[in-house]
């Protein structure tokens, strides 16, 4: 699919987007979001559901088909030590290592809470426990602070101080403009505070739907989440339909050029692709000092000697060598060692296997 020609409009990458996997918040499928971003000529698209990577595979497949770079990310709400709300931010995986760290952070947060919820604190990122020390600052991930609307400059100042100290040069602050009454005040507070902390400002649309015609559906989702009829939701409903993937002309008329340029700079840094992933078996399957091939060979012959204590028949030995060679050609040793580990555990526990 050839890229549309949009003349001299500034390039833009959407870095903060919720799909329907952000339950009762997003009103579009992840693949629809990727397809629409490509139609609009975006430089890249990220799907950042809250504490979830559930939509990224569908978005990745569609993005490949539409030939638009796809960025894996997620959004988080952090609490203070006393349980009060601290801030919200979006994390984007820059590399495969960053993707692993992001996935582990999501797992950590989800395992602490009941199904459908999560719990994550600022200390998990600035002073994590020893077992999660490698997650300090969420290495190899871009972090984008999401200010409250309208931004309270004093509160934002404290948030950005922590944010910059925790994420360093990987920290940005989002400027999200939805044609609301206090947009100018919001923008001014963000730009002044960001300048004081030397944190760059990046434009985000924070869409929850791929086209504006999904607004009635999004209203219904909001009403369900609030457990009220739509007619009784009042100001809890979005005041307009601006939270969709907007045209680059519309974005160019709303946002400062520098903030738009930062979206492309962040997208350039996020080189990770889900195509890089392959299943990896646990390292602990193989004792120290062994390769998977050597350990499988050893355990195979130990088992064969147990089966034929008087000596392994020549025909059986030839079959073993043939199968070990085939397994080696396919690099399947870890798979067979995994099955062996399961069977050995079951037998030790008296489980029929």
Q: Are 326 and 293 in contact (CB under 8 A)?
A: no
Estimate the crossing angle of helix 183-197 against helix 153-167, to 10 degrees.
40
**CA separation for the pair 240, 260 (Å, rounded):** 22
Band of the pLDDT at 8, cuts 50, 70, 90? confident
Q: Based on C-alpha coordinates, what's the Rg of the chain?
A: 26
Say what the pLDDT of residue 7 is: 66
In this predicted model, what pLDDT tens digit does every residue of 90-101 receive, in sequence order?
Answer: 999 999 999 999
**290 has a pLDDT exceeding 90:** yes
In this predicted model, what pLDDT tens digit does every residue of 71-117 receive, in sequence order?
Answer: 999 999 999 999 999 999 999 999 999 999 999 999 999 999 999 99
pTM of the model: 0.85
User: Which CATH class, in words, describes the domain spanning 13-276?
Assistant: alpha beta
**CA separation for the pair 269, 202 (Å, rounded):** 14
**178 has a pLDDT exceeding 90:** yes
| Residue 127: DSSP 8-state | S
CB neighbour list of residue 32: distance below 8 Å, 6 or more residues apart: 62, 210
3-state SS class at 273:
coil
Nearest C-alpha neighbor of 45 from the set 12, 67, 13, 89: 13
CATH 3.20.20.140 domain residues, the chain: 13-276
Give the CA dihedral 126, 131, 135, 137, nearest 10 degrees.
Answer: 20
In this predicted model, what pLDDT tens digit does every residue of 17-30 receive, in sequence order?
Answer: 999 999 999 999 99
In this predicted model, what pLDDT tens digit does every residue of 39-54 receive, in sequence order?
Answer: 999 999 999 999 999 9
Nearest C-alpha neighbor of 142 from the set 271, 276, 50: 271
Say what the pLDDT of residue 173 is: 98
The first and second tokens of residue 265, run together, are 């700079």
Band of the pLDDT at 1, cuts 50, 70, 90? very low
Say what the pLDDT of residue 89 is: 98
**CA separation for the pair 38, 334 (Å, rounded):** 40
- Alpha helices, DSSP H, located in the chain: 30-39, 56-66, 96-111, 123-126, 153-167, 183-197, 215-226, 248-254, 257-269, 292-307, 314-330, 333-348
Say what the pLDDT of residue 278 is: 82
């Amino acid at each position: 699919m050839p890229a549309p020609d949009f003349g001299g409009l500034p390039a833009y990458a959407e870095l903060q987007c919720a799909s329907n996997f952000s339950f009762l918040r997003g009103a579009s499928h992840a693949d629809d979001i990727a397809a629409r971003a490509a139609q609009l000529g975006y430089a890249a698209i990220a799907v950042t559901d809250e504490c979830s990577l559930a939509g990224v595979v569908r978005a990745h497949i569609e993005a490949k088909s539409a030939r638009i770079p796809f960025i894996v990310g997620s959004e988080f709400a952090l609490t203070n030590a006393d349980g009060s709300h601290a801030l919200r931010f979006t994390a984007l995986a820059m590399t495969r290592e960053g993707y692993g760290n992001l996935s582990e952070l999501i797992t950590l947060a989800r395992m602490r809470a009941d199904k459908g919820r999560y719990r994550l604190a600022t200390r998990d990122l600035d002073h994590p426990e020893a077992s999660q020390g490698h997650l300090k600052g969420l290495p190899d991930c871009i972090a984008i602070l999401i200010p409250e609307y309208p931004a309270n400059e004093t509160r934002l100042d404290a948030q950005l101080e922590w944010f910059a100290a925790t994420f360093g040069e990987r920290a940005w602050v989002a400027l999200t403009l939805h044609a609301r009454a206090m947009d100018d005040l919001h923008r001014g507070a963000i730009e002044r505070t960001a300048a004081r902390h030397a944190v760059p400002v990046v434009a985000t649309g924070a869409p929850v739907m791929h086209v504006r015609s999904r607004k009635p559906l999004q209203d219904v989702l909001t009403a369900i989440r609030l457990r009220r009829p739509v007619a009784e939701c009042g100001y809890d409903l979005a005041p307009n339909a601006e939270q969709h993937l907007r045209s680059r002309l519309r974005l160019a008329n709303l946002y400062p050029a520098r903030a738009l340029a930062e979206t492309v700079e962040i997208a350039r840094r996020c080189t990770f692709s889900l195509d890089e992933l392959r299943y990896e078996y646990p390292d602990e399957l193989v004792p120290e000092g062994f390769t998977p091939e050597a350990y499988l060979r050893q355990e195979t012959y130990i088992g064969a000697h147990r089966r034929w204590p008087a000596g392994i028949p020549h025909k059986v030995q030839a079959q073993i060598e043939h199968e070990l060679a085939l397994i080696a050609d396919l690099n399947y040793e870890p798979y067979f060692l995994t099955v062996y580990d399961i069977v050995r555990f079951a037998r030790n526990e008296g489980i029929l296997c």
